[in-house]
Amino acid sequence: IAAGVAVWSVMTALCGLARGFWSLFIARTGVGVGEATLAPGAYSMIADYFPKRILARALSVYMIGVTLGSGVAYMLGGAVVAYLEDIDQVVLPLLGSMQGWQLTFFIVGLPGILVSMLLVASVREPRRRGVGLDSAESIPLAEVVQYLWQRRLAFAGHIFGISIFIMVVYALNLWGPTYFIRIFGYSPAEAGWVFGLVMIGAGTAGLLLAGSVADAWMQRGTQDAYVRTILLSIICITPCVVTLGFTTNEMVGIVAMALAVFFSACQGGIAGGTLQLMTPNRMRGQVIVIYMLVANLIGLGLGPTVVAAATDYVFGYDEAIGKSIALSAAVMCPLGGLLLWRSLPAIREQLEEQS
C-alpha cells in the first residue's frame, strides 16, 4: 500500500509535465496502477484487525477517507484551479516554466509521498483471523476464480448488483458539481464548495450510519445484514436522485443532492465488507481485486458516460444534466437492487459457510 501511495502521488505530479495526449495518458495510467494497490490490502488487513461484530463500522471509518478526501478535493481543488488559472506561467527550479493548471498537479500530488512514509512508519501487518483454506502462504488466482465460479450465484449476484448501483453513485460524484453549475448558475469554485460540503457532511454520515446499522442488525442474528442495509439504501436513494431532474428550486436541489449522496455512501464500506465475510482469508485480497475491477469498469466506466450520453442524445441540451442523472437512477437502482435481492439466498448460504 505504501509503495502504491508513493507511485500514484509521483504519477499525479508527472501529469503536470504532460505535453500531449499520450504523455498524460501514461501518467494517468500510472496513477491508476498506484491506486489499485490500496483496496486489496486495506480490506484484507481491516478484516483481520477487527472482530466481525464491529467490522462494518471499521470499514466505514476507513471509507471516510473517500468522502473527506473527495469533499476536500472538490473544495480546495476548485479554489486552487480558480487561483492558478489566472497565472500565465510559473518558473520552478529544474522544471522550468509551467502554466497554472500544471502546477496544480504538483500541489496535490507530491504531499502523498509523505503519507506513504508515514504509513510505513506507523502501520503493521495484522495476524490472520477467520476461516482459512489451508496453511499455504498464498492462493493462486486460478484457484480463486474457480472458487468464485463454483459459488457464482452468490458472488456474481453481489458483485454485479453492487456494480450496477455504483453507476449511479459515480454519476453523482462526477456530475454533482456540474449539476450545480448548469442548473443554478454556480461558478466552478462555488460548485466545488457546495458539493464538497455535501460529500463531507452527508457522505460521511451515510457511511457511519450504514456501518452502525449493519453491525447492530448482524448482532441480532441477521447474517446478510450488510446486503439488506445496501438494499434499503437503494430504495431510499431513488426518489432523491429522481428529484434532481425535476426541481428548479436551489434549496430543494441541494437537499436532494445531500440525501442522494448520503444514501449513495451507505454501500461504501459494507459492500466490500460482505465479500470479506463471504471469502476465506487467504483469498480476500484477490476477491476484492476482482470486485474492484468489475465495479470500476461498470460503475466508473459506464455510470458517468451514461449520464453524458443521455444529456447529448436523449434530451439534447446541456441543462438537462439533472434529468439525465434522474433517468440513470430510475433504471439502474431497481436493476441493481433486483439482482442483489435475487442473490440473497445464495449470499446468505455463503456467509453461513464462512461463519
Q: Name the pTM for this structure.
A: 0.85
pLDDT at 95: 66
pLDDT at 117: 95
Regions in the chain scoring below 50 on pLDDT: 133-134
At CA 47, angle to CA 45 and CA 53, rounded to 5?
A: 150
pLDDT at 130: 56
CA 156 to chain CA mean position, Å: 19
Q: Is 214 exposed, middle or buried (0-12, 13-18, 19+ CB in 10 A)?
A: buried
Strand partners, 91: 97
